[in-house]
Amino acid sequence: MLCKFAMVKQMIWTRRVWQGLGTVALAIAFTTACGEVPNGNNLPPVVNEQPPVDNNNPPPDGEDPTDNNPDSNPGETTPQPTVYWLKDEGDRLALAPVEVTPTAETPTGQLESLFTQLLTETPEDGLSSTIPPGTELLSLIIQGDGIVVNLSEEFQFGGGSASMIGRVAQVLYTATSLDPTAAVWFQIEGEPLEVLGGEGLEIAQPMTRDSFTTDFDL
């Protein structure tokens, strides 16, 4: 009798298990048909935030589509070839820059052209030069530590201290018109220029625009 009762109890338990499984299967089928995730986690779809690539309109050659600021220094200007003359302001001489259209492609060629004008041409009205007539540019070399300007011996003759300072300024600023921070080595007939004229004007080697304004009052 106990064995029969146990068998009946086992059958009832088995039926309940299968009924429970059927209910779970029905719930899964219902949620799947409604577009829901079976485990109940309704995750949002993944959205690709990258903009589509337009193959019909590629960026111009050399242009970086991620560069939103291609001109980082809009106010920066490129130094221009310039000849420096002098202007009489009554109690003093002042440098008078005159920009020149480049006639050569290389920096050395451009500077040589500037010195040809500085040493041979007559400046416009109101401007002058204290460089002695007959002064020639023997050579000009742009090297790693500065610019070597080799002038003929006429450069060191004639004039007082104001004239000497003025001609040094003309050579220095003309030579550095393409690179205002460059240093200049002065030579006369291939030898370093240390003292200029009878006034004994000492010439720093090399000389920069900053050191000139510190040592001299033009």
Residue recorded with tokens 């007539």: 133
pTM check: above 0.85: no
User: Mean pLDDT for the chain?
Assistant: 78
Compute the CA torsion angle 165, 169, 170, 176 (nearest 10 deg): 160
Whether residue 21 has pLDDT greater than 80? no
Q: Kindly indicate the confidence band of residue 53, based on its pLDDT and cuts at 50, 70 and 90.
A: low
Whether residue 8 has pLDDT greater than 50? no
- Domain boundaries defined on the chain: 82-215
pLDDT in tens, 120-179: 999 998 999 999 999 999 999 999 999 999 999 999 999 899 999 999 999 999 999 999
Q: CA-to-CA distance for 82 and 101, rounded, in angstroms?
A: 9
Closest CA to 127 of 81, 80, 170: 170
Q: What is the pLDDT of residue 63?
A: 52
Burial of residue 156 (CB within 10 Å: 0-12, 13-18, 19+) is buried
Q: What is the mean pLDDT of residues 44-71?
A: 51
- Reading the block at residue 54, the tokens are 């337009």
Q: What is the pLDDT of residue 199?
A: 74
Q: CA-to-CA distance for 30 and 25, rounded, in angstroms?
A: 9
C-alpha distances (whole Å) from 38 to each of 24, 41, 45, 215 are 11, 8, 15, 87
Q: CA-to-CA distance for 210 and 166, rounded, in angstroms?
A: 15
Neighbouring CB atoms inside 10 A of 159's CB total 18
Residue recorded with tokens 């020639």: 136
